[in-house]
Amino acid sequence: AQTVTQSQPEMSVQEAETVTLSCTYDTSENNYYLFWYKQPPSRQMILVIRQEAYKQQNATENRFSVNFQKAAKSFSLKISDSQLGDTAMYFCAFAHGSGNTGKLIFGQGTTLQVKP
Residue numbers at the binding site for other proteins (CB under 8 A): 33, 35, 37, 42-47, 50, 52, 91, 93, 95-109
Q: Kindly tell me which of 20 and 52 has the beta carbon lying closer to other proteins.
A: 52
Closer to other proteins by Cβ: residue 16 or 46? 46
- Residue 85, classed as helix, strand or coil, is helix
DSSP at 30: S
- Tell me the closest approach of the beta carbon of residue 22 to other proteins, in angstroms: 15
User: Residue 37 class from Cβ within 10 Å (0-12 exposed, 13-18 middle, 19+ buried)?
Assistant: buried
| In the complex, minimum distance from the CB of residue 103 to other proteins, in angstroms, rounded to a whole number | 5
Between 25 and 91, name the residue whose CB sits nearer to other proteins: 91
Kindly state the smallest distance separating residue 89's Cβ from other proteins, in Å. 10
Secondary structure element (H or E) that encloses residue 27, with its range:
none
| CA–CA distances in Å: residue 113 to residues 14, 28, 62, 83 | 8, 34, 19, 10
Minimum distance of other proteins from residue 102's CB (angstroms):
4
